[in-house]
Structure 1
Amino acid sequence: MAQHPRFCSLLVRDENGFESWRRTRLNIDQHVIVFNNRLDRSGKFIDGTETQGRSFNEGDDDEVAVNQYVADLSVSSPLSTDKPLWELHLLTAHKCAVFRIHHALGDGISLMSILMASCRKASDENALPMMLPEKTRESKGEKRKGMFWFLGALWEFSKIAWFTLVFVMEFILRGFLVSDRKTVISGGDGVELWPRKMVTATFLLEDMKEVKKAIPNATINDVLFGVVSSGLSRYLDHRSPNAMDEGRRMTGVAMVNLRSKPGLQEISKLMKDNSEARWGNRFGVILLPVFYDKAGNDPLKYLKRAKTMVDRKKSSLEAYFSYRIGDLLMTLLGSKYACLLNYRLLCNTTFTISNLMGPLEEITLAGNPISSIKVTTSSLPQAITMHMLSYAGRAEMQILVAKDIIPDPEILAKCFEDALLEMKMAAIAGQ
């Protein structure tokens, strides 16, 4: 991080208000913040004398305390522009490191790639972590030839054109005019400043792989979106079973990596200006609708519906359009108007979701074994954001909520976990 130009630069504005990066000398003491006291379950530091004679259930208390610390950090003081826009908080009593990094420095792929370049395999201190992207589709055999190939290509082109037109129009309307109908989990303008609470939903990758076998050509992302659809319906049944209309739509904003090579990248390639991988924010967004549905006899219906919708999104250029329109606004009008478009889109939708693939096996950072890696974002006007990251056979989803709107996120996390287990049982029963 200390060698990367973006992590050693100040964000400055000239007399006309134009922003640019200016290299500066890095003072590590300004960025590394060490806390030796323990946190209580509300995320507040405990004085050393108060911990004497007290017993802690370290596994549970550590996760709850650190989650609340990060949740409070997300709505407390912003990163200072007097120094490069990143901090490292070391919570020594909890054996935890919290990287606080402004999104202007890079997207999830960039930041996770630089973190992995700093880590090594636990089994080999000289080897970098191994991260392989999931194969999105199985081979379909030899290409069709002649007239059949032409008709197939024409059909694929027609689908791309149609779905792109439909979804791009929807994206534009969502950005300026159309908003989700209000539910008990809806956010809105100003909610980004409300107090937050964070919990973790934990899944086994083996369970998700077992579920995706139930539907041909399904992916882990399909399973994740199916779990979210089922979990949100379960939670709304819990909060307001008589106030919700069947089929009520809640729209999610999902991030899509637009680099030509999927998954995490080699840092040497990311830092080259002419590389297609390129450092920075290289992602588009797609809108994923979730429909409130009463519990039924087929848990896999959520996966089937999710796969159908995600496949249609993959057949469109919505993600590329969203990136290009944001890039165009940034170039012509500046960051203020590009941010305004993003803000309006988030105000008109219900939640944000993302999924990153992490290391396949256990790793170390500076010789310290890592038991868990979690990621989240802040300053969004939605009442709920969900970010999942897989690590060594387990996937953990950080759920950050506005606690005045969603006071019981633990129940929401349990709804997601139960949804996956129910899908797994249905998938096994159907084999």
Structure 2
Amino acid sequence: MASPLIDEPLSPTGRLFLRPEMNQVIHCVLGVEKPLDVDAVKPLIRDAFLLKHPRFRSLMVRDRRGLERWRRTSVDLDRHLIVVDRRLSSSSDEAAVNEYLADMSTGPGLSADKPLWEIHFLTAHRCIVFRIHHALGDGISLMSILLSDCRMASDPNAVPTVGSTARSDLSKKKRTMWGAVVWLVGVLWFSLVFVVEFLMRLCWVCDQNTVISGGIGVEHWPRKLATARFRLEDMKIVKRAVASATINDVLFGVISSGLSRYLEHRTPKALQEGLKITGLAMVNLRKQRGLQELSELMKGDSQSRWGNKFGIVLLPIQYHKSGADPLQPVKRAKTMLDRKKQSLEAHFSYNVLSYVIAYIGSKIAGFLNYRVICHTSFTISNIVGPQEDIAIGDNRVTYVRANSSSLPHALTMHMVSYAGRADMQILVAKDIIPDPEFLAKCFEDALSEMKEEASAIMKTF
């Protein structure tokens, strides 16, 4: 019997990511403690790290009708490994790596004459960059690959643990008959409201132009990259000060407050208080329950769970002037995100795009997706990473970061948590946002102010 992955059709979302206007490559960055020994890492890659899953041994080909398909092939590992021995610049390691990644975000895509992934070893900067096409899988799928052969730094025999993405406990509202009715009415109402808003955004509604706005063609503009650093404990302190809040609520509150600070700094003419600025988020439609769930994705008989399975949701924030309650953005974010979670917006966007791709074509779906991006202002994502320090072989990983190739947005933000820390990569079109380092500081200062306010509140109890 032929292998099920020979000439297997791409998923609808995978086809979308191959469209020229949506050609997305994910960059996952691992910093390591010791000098890189590429020869020592090669066996890990060959035996377990990336070659476990058939997707990474398959070419993307097109049949006679022009439809994309996966075809199994042999892998010449050396063609996928790019070793850069020289220092990239005289700047710090972080600045040099960020500049390298920013250049790749608008540079040439991955070659279609080999499986769609590469690994770049920046040996002088003790950094490994995994460059993987989004058609191969989403963030959760690719996290399973990256962690499949890592071990805890404190115990080489122990696998790392990955926390689940915490959500508000909406099930409490369904414990009685009346509560279940109210919850169901909420699901129907919020789904209707958000789906109508999504369709309006698709057709004609767009954000007011600001100093962070992108638009048609901005995906080709040169990029800069900066990193905002957070402590998860600081975010948890803020979370405890806002009833039933989650880390995602705190993160989005930080984004709201940080962008307000930045806009206030960059805009000579005062913006209208309460001005809405809309972001896009990719919502994982799987249930993430730690590394065991991720490991299931690696099994050869689990193809239905592998790949891209996420929906798009619109996340509006409100511009506010400094001096207000530091925790107010978190409270607003919690209210908005709870309603989003109760709605079917993410499922609607996933199923509609899948239907359009399958029955009308990826060209139309790509146009619609591109239009939604051009009508909004930024992209945000948050991936839960290992809770403990991990190691590749005997080399401890010092940081885990992620970003992607550019979009029509002038601002994209990707946060990954790792061992009590969270690094958010801020990729910007530098002709629109020339100072991403200052923007990163706005986010860090926003969290610091929220933590101080939350600590003061907690002391009163």
* Partner SS state of residue 349, structure 2: helix
Is residue 3 of structure 1 aligned with residue 52 of structure 2? Answer: yes
> CA contact under 8 A between 2:194 and 2:345: conserved in structure 1?
yes
The Cα shift of 1:303 comes to: 0.6
Instruction: State which drifts further: 9-18 or 386-395.
Output: 9-18
What are the residue-to-residue correspondences of 1:193-342 with 2, within 5 Å?
193-262=220-289, 266-272=293-299, 275=302, 278-342=305-369
> CA contact under 8 A between 1:388 and 1:396: conserved in structure 2?
yes
Task: Name the CA distance, whole Å, in 1 between partners of 2:419 and 2:113.
Answer: 38
The Cα shift of 1:429 comes to: 1.2
The Cα shift of 1:428 comes to: 1.0
**In the alignment, what sits opposite 1:99?**
130
Is residue 359 of structure 1 aligned with residue 386 of structure 2? Answer: yes
* 1:186-226 deviation digits (Å, cap 9, x = unpaired): 00111011000000000000000000111110000000000
**In the alignment, what sits opposite 2:441?**
414
> CA contact under 8 A between 2:378 and 2:409: conserved in structure 1?
yes
Letter in 1 for 2:315: L
> CA contact under 8 A between 1:227 and 1:302: conserved in structure 2?
yes
The structure-2 alpha-carbon separation of the partners of 1:142 and 1:221, relative to structure 1 and needing over 3 Å to count, comes to closer
* Partner SS state of residue 373, structure 1: strand
Task: Name the CA distance, whole Å, in 2 between partners of 1:293 and 1:394.
Answer: 28
* Partner SS state of residue 89, structure 2: coil
Letter in 1 for 2:97: V
The Cα shift of 1:338 comes to: 2.2
Letter in 2 for 1:270: L
Instruction: State which drifts further: 173-182 or 271-280.
Output: 271-280
The Cα shift of 1:333 comes to: 2.3
For the aligned residue pairs, the C-alpha RMSD in angstroms reads 1.9
**In the alignment, what sits opposite 1:53?**
none
The structure-2 alpha-carbon separation of the partners of 1:29 and 1:361, relative to structure 1 and needing over 3 Å to count, comes to same
* Partner SS state of residue 181, structure 1: coil
Task: Name the CA distance, whole Å, in 2 between partners of 1:262 and 1:344.
Answer: 34
Task: Name the CA distance, whole Å, in 1 between partners of 2:120 and 2:283.
Answer: 29
Structure 2: which 5+ runs fail to align? 1-49
The structure-2 alpha-carbon separation of the partners of 1:161 and 1:416, relative to structure 1 and needing over 3 Å to count, comes to same
> CA contact under 8 A between 1:259 and 1:276: conserved in structure 2?
no
**In the alignment, what sits opposite 1:39?**
88
Letter in 1 for 2:99: Q
* 1:263-312 deviation digits (Å, cap 9, x = unpaired): 55545521457759811001112111011111123101111111110011
Instruction: State which drifts further: 178-187 or 265-274.
Output: 265-274
1:380 to 385, 407, 424: 407
The structure-2 alpha-carbon separation of the partners of 1:82 and 1:265, relative to structure 1 and needing over 3 Å to count, comes to farther
**In the alignment, what sits opposite 1:132?**
163
* 1:321-348 deviation digits (Å, cap 9, x = unpaired): 1111111112112322222222111111
> CA contact under 8 A between 1:272 and 1:278: conserved in structure 2?
no
> CA contact under 8 A between 1:113 and 1:265: conserved in structure 2?
no
Letter in 2 for 1:291: Q
* Partner SS state of residue 89, structure 1: strand
What are the residue-to-residue correspondences of 1:9-88 with 2, within 5 Å?
9-40=58-89, 61-88=92-119
The structure-2 alpha-carbon separation of the partners of 1:89 and 1:113, relative to structure 1 and needing over 3 Å to count, comes to same
Letter in 2 for 1:114: I
Task: Name the CA distance, whole Å, in 2 between partners of 1:117 and 1:137.
Answer: 29
Letter in 2 for 1:345: V
The structure-2 alpha-carbon separation of the partners of 1:320 and 1:262, relative to structure 1 and needing over 3 Å to count, comes to farther
Letter in 1 for 2:407: L
**In the alignment, what sits opposite 1:349?**
376
The Cα shift of 1:157 comes to: 0.7
The Cα shift of 1:243 comes to: 4.3
**In the alignment, what sits opposite 1:151?**
178
The Cα shift of 1:124 comes to: 1.2
* Partner SS state of residue 359, structure 1: coil
Task: Name the CA distance, whole Å, in 1 between partners of 2:198 and 2:173.
Answer: 36
> CA contact under 8 A between 2:173 and 2:180: conserved in structure 1?
no
* 1:91-146 deviation digits (Å, cap 9, x = unpaired): 000110001111000000010111011211101112211112154246987974xx
Task: Name the CA distance, whole Å, in 2 between partners of 1:181 and 1:142.
Answer: 37
Higher RCO (CA 8 Å, separation ≥ 6 residues): 2
Task: Name the CA distance, whole Å, in 2 between partners of 1:137 and 1:235.
Answer: 30
Letter in 1 for 2:159: L
> CA contact under 8 A between 1:226 and 1:306: conserved in structure 2?
yes
Letter in 1 for 2:128: A
The structure-2 alpha-carbon separation of the partners of 1:158 and 1:179, relative to structure 1 and needing over 3 Å to count, comes to same
* 1:366-400 deviation digits (Å, cap 9, x = unpaired): 32110000001113110000010111111000000
Query: TM-score normalized by structure 2?
Result: 0.85
Letter in 2 for 1:104: A
Identity of paired residues, percent?
60
The structure-2 alpha-carbon separation of the partners of 1:165 and 1:415, relative to structure 1 and needing over 3 Å to count, comes to same
> CA contact under 8 A between 2:279 and 2:379: conserved in structure 1?
yes
Task: Name the CA distance, whole Å, in 2 between partners of 1:429 and 1:193.
Answer: 46
Task: Name the CA distance, whole Å, in 2 between partners of 1:208 and 1:355.
Answer: 14
Instruction: State which drifts further: 134-143 or 336-345.
Output: 134-143
Instruction: State which drifts further: 344-353 or 127-136.
Output: 127-136
How many residues align? The count is 409
Is residue 192 of structure 1 aligned with residue 241 of structure 2? Answer: no
* 1:13-48 deviation digits (Å, cap 9, x = unpaired): 12322111111111111100001000116xxxxxxx
> CA contact under 8 A between 1:68 and 1:198: conserved in structure 2?
yes
